[in-house]
Amino acid sequence: MLITMVAWLAFDQKLDLPAILGLGLIITGVVIINVFSKSVAH
């Protein structure tokens, strides 16, 4: 996510809808695993 932000700010790259949805799904997946999974050590 941070690399995407740097590319957007520094290189003026534009994200289309599929790219934004894909990043959102990745972030959602990481949050769900960290909050609800018992297999990840906290």
Does the residue 42 lie in any domain? no
Query: What pLDDT sits at residue 26?
Result: 94
**Burial label, 6 (beta-carbon count in 10 A; 0-12, 13-18, 19+):** exposed
Rg of the Cα trace of the chain?
14
What is residue 27's predicted lDDT score, i.e. its pLDDT? 94
Whole-angstrom distance, CA of residue 20 vs CA of residue 25: 9
CA 14 to chain centre: 16
Q: What is the overall mean pLDDT for the chain?
A: 87
The percentage of residues in the chain with a pLDDT greater than 90, rounded to a whole number, is 38
pLDDT tens track for 23-34: 999 999 999 998
In the chain, the number of structural domains is 1
In a domain, 16, yes or no: yes
pTM of the predicted model, to two decimals? 0.68
In a domain, 41, yes or no: no
Contact yes or no for 4/15 (Cβ under 8 A): yes
Percentage of the chain lying above the pLDDT 70 cut: 93
Structural domain boundaries enclosing 30: 2-36
